[in-house]
Amino acid sequence: MGNSLITYLREPYPYIYGNKRQLLVILGVISLLAFVFSYAFEPFEVNTTEHKIAYVWILVLHATLPIPIVFLYFTIVNFTIKDDSRWTIGKEMLHLSIALLLIGIGSFLVRDIIYDNPNNWSFRYLYEEIRNSFMVGVLLLLIILPLNVQRLIQKHSKSLERLSFSKANPITTEPQICHISGSDFQFYIQDFLFAKVEGNYTEIFLEQHDKVTKKLLRITLKDLENQLQDFSNIYKTHRSYLVNLDKIIECKGNAQGYQLTLQKYAEKVPVSRSKLSDFNSYFSATTQS
């Protein structure tokens, strides 16, 4: 049970907070749904004698208050994210829980605007506002997120059924040397496994003499991609990864997109959702030819 839970929490999950416009749209929709739900069903006890403002405006305040709180929180989180392919369902739940906690604290801090109650600043009401925040958020954390994980896994796994990863059409049988401009480093393109961003550097992984070697170069992934653009099998599967598609031995769907297993390399390499269409086209074309 414990190991299954840990495995589940480590399951990759798409990081959707990097796009600020998209984040604001999502928060706006959730805010609207929260207002409609609260107005229609009144899920919490209401004492109208304490209200300083009309009840409808209280609902508007509670529905819109999370927008600046969550937006500011994930704006800060964005600065800590170096590789969003490492985002997991566990991290999603943790950060959403922190956001719910902050929303509860925020609701507590505006009580004096809403309620005429001498005990507004008591621990009791701090606890009550945080509790109410989590009562609403538990639907997202324990129901919507797990269902979305399964939906995305099934969707991406199904799209893989139409692809073939057999190397029926290698680019060339003749060894070709690739020299990286601005350095004295060169390698056979047939040995290239993948490259990934590492801070201000790029790590290049090569399969040489039945083992994987790694070279760290002070070069951007974009620059490396430009230098390898003549090789159609070298493809940017993620903003942090450049992969030799001929080296794939297995591909599995997950909530983020795909995870690739490459020759002689144990760790998985991601294909992000934004890259799936071109990735599928490449292997669909290989299958048909």
Residue 272, burial from CB neighbour count under 10 angstroms (0-12, 13-18, 19+): buried
In angstroms, the CA 61 to CA 46 distance is 15
Question: Greater confidence, 172 or 164?
Answer: 164
What pLDDT, on the 0 to 100 scale, is given for residue 39?
86
In angstroms, the CA 133 to CA 275 distance is 36
Give the pLDDT band of residue 170 (cuts 50, 70, 90).
low
What pLDDT, on the 0 to 100 scale, is given for residue 197?
92
Q: In what order do the strands lie in the sheet with 241-244?
A: 211-217, 201-208, 192-198, 241-244, 234-238
Q: Annotate 193-226 with b (16+ C-beta within 10 A) or e (fewer).
A: bbbbbeeeebebbbbeeeebeeeebebebeebee
Tokens for 197, please give them: 């961003």
Q: Give the CA angle between residues 28, 31, 35 to the nearest 5°.
A: 140
Tokens for 246, please give them: 């001929």
Average pLDDT, the chain: 89
Q: Domains of the chain: which residue ranges?
A: 2-160, 177-288
pTM comes to: 0.84
What pLDDT, on the 0 to 100 scale, is given for residue 173?
58
C-alpha distances in Å from residue 280, one per residue of 139, 148, 155, 274: 34, 22, 13, 11
Lowest-confidence region among 41-45, 214-218, 256-260: 41-45
Give the pLDDT band of residue 167 (cuts 50, 70, 90).
low
Residue 156, burial from CB neighbour count under 10 angstroms (0-12, 13-18, 19+): buried
Summarize the confidence of residues 153-175 as an average pLDDT.
75
> Looking at the predicted structure, is the pLDDT value of residue 169 above 50?
no
Torsion sign (Cα): 157, 163, 166, 171: negative
Summarize the confidence of residues 95-123 as an average pLDDT.
95
Summarize the confidence of residues 67-89 as an average pLDDT.
94
Lowest-confidence region among 156-165, 169-178, 259-268: 169-178
For residue 189, how many other CB atoms are within 10 A of its CB?
19
> What does CATH list as the number for 177-288?
2.40.50.1020
Tokens for 202, please give them: 């790029």
What pLDDT, on the 0 to 100 scale, is given for residue 168?
45
Q: Where are the beta strands (DSSP E) in 172-275?
A: 177-179, 186-188, 192-198, 201-208, 211-217, 234-238, 241-244, 248-253, 257-262, 269-272
Summarize the confidence of residues 1-11 as an average pLDDT.
85
pLDDT digits (tens, 9 = 90+) for 203-240: 999 998 889 999 999 999 999 999 999 898 899 999 99
What pLDDT, on the 0 to 100 scale, is given for residue 4?
87
Q: What is the DSSP letter of 17?
A: -
What pLDDT, on the 0 to 100 scale, is given for residue 285?
61
